[in-house]
Protein backbone atom coordinates (compact mmCIF):
# COMPACT_ATOMS: atom_id res chain seq x y z
CA UNK A 1 0.00 0.00 0.00
CA UNK A 2 2.83 2.38 0.84
CA UNK A 3 4.40 1.81 -2.60
CA UNK A 4 1.05 2.53 -4.27
CA UNK A 5 0.66 5.86 -2.44
CA UNK A 6 4.22 6.83 -3.34
CA UNK A 7 3.61 5.97 -6.99
CA UNK A 8 0.35 7.95 -7.13
CA UNK A 9 2.04 10.94 -5.49
CA UNK A 10 4.93 10.80 -7.95
CA UNK A 11 2.56 10.61 -10.92
CA UNK A 12 0.60 13.61 -9.61
CA UNK A 13 3.79 15.66 -9.30
CA UNK A 14 4.92 14.75 -12.81
CA UNK A 15 1.48 15.64 -14.18
CA UNK A 16 1.52 19.02 -12.41
CA UNK A 17 5.02 19.78 -13.72
CA UNK A 18 4.11 18.92 -17.31
CA UNK A 19 0.88 20.95 -17.11
CA UNK A 20 2.78 24.05 -16.03
CA UNK A 21 5.19 23.61 -18.94
CA UNK A 22 2.34 23.36 -21.42
CA UNK A 23 0.48 26.53 -20.47
CA UNK A 24 2.01 29.88 -19.61
CA UNK A 25 0.21 33.05 -18.61
CA UNK A 26 1.81 36.47 -18.92
CA UNK A 27 0.60 39.91 -17.81
CA UNK A 28 1.37 43.11 -19.69
CA UNK A 29 1.65 46.64 -18.31
CA UNK A 30 1.70 50.02 -20.02
CA UNK A 31 4.52 52.54 -19.57
CA UNK A 32 2.78 53.98 -16.50
CA UNK A 33 2.81 50.58 -14.80
CA UNK A 34 -0.94 50.00 -15.14
CA UNK A 35 -2.21 46.56 -16.09
CA UNK A 36 -2.90 46.50 -19.85
CA UNK A 37 -3.86 42.89 -20.54
CA UNK A 38 -2.63 39.30 -20.56
CA UNK A 39 -1.81 36.36 -22.76
CA UNK A 40 -2.11 32.63 -22.31
CA UNK A 41 0.17 30.33 -24.32
CA UNK A 42 -0.63 26.67 -24.81
CA UNK A 43 1.57 24.70 -27.19
CA UNK A 44 1.91 26.64 -30.44
CA UNK A 45 -0.99 29.05 -29.88
CA UNK A 46 -1.43 32.17 -27.77
CA UNK A 47 -4.64 33.92 -26.77
CA UNK A 48 -4.69 37.58 -25.81
CA UNK A 49 -7.06 39.35 -23.41
CA UNK A 50 -7.69 43.04 -22.77
CA UNK A 51 -7.47 44.59 -19.31
CA UNK A 52 -11.10 43.65 -18.62
CA UNK A 53 -10.32 39.99 -19.32
CA UNK A 54 -12.22 39.86 -22.62
CA UNK A 55 -10.74 37.79 -25.45
CA UNK A 56 -8.96 40.09 -27.91
CA UNK A 57 -7.35 37.74 -30.46
CA UNK A 58 -4.90 34.91 -30.99
CA UNK A 59 -1.67 33.93 -32.68
CA UNK A 60 -0.63 30.50 -33.94
CA UNK A 61 2.94 29.46 -34.71
CA UNK A 62 2.95 27.32 -37.85
CA UNK A 63 5.41 24.52 -38.63
CA UNK A 64 6.89 26.50 -41.56
CA UNK A 65 8.22 29.24 -39.23
CA UNK A 66 5.40 31.72 -39.79
CA UNK A 67 2.92 33.04 -37.23
CA UNK A 68 -0.74 33.66 -38.14
CA UNK A 69 -2.79 36.29 -36.32
CA UNK A 70 -6.56 36.29 -35.78
CA UNK A 71 -8.89 38.93 -34.34
CA UNK A 72 -11.48 38.31 -31.62
CA UNK A 73 -14.01 37.14 -34.24
CA UNK A 74 -11.60 34.50 -35.52
CA UNK A 75 -10.87 36.29 -38.79
CA UNK A 76 -7.33 36.09 -40.17
CA UNK A 77 -5.62 39.49 -39.83
CA UNK A 78 -2.07 38.78 -41.02
CA UNK A 79 1.09 36.79 -40.58
CA UNK A 80 4.80 37.16 -39.95
CA UNK A 81 7.94 35.18 -40.62
CA UNK A 82 10.76 34.40 -38.26
CA UNK A 83 13.69 36.83 -38.19
CA UNK A 84 16.11 34.38 -36.62
CA UNK A 85 18.71 32.79 -38.88
CA UNK A 86 18.29 29.09 -39.48
In order along its 86 residues, the chain shows pLDDT tens digits of 554 444 444 455 545 444 445 789 999 999 999 999 999 999 999 999 999 999 999 999 998 889 999 999 999 999 998 666 66
* 57 located within any domain: yes
* 24 located within any domain: no
Q: What is the domain range of residue 48?
A: 30-65
* 60 located within any domain: yes
Residues 47, 24: contact at Cβ < 8 Å? no
* 77 located within any domain: no
* 72 located within any domain: no
Q: How many domains does the chain have?
A: 1
* 61 located within any domain: yes
* 4 located within any domain: no
Amino acid sequence: MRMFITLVSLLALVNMASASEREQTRSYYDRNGSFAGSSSTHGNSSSFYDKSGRFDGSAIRNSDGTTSFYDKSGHFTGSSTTTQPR
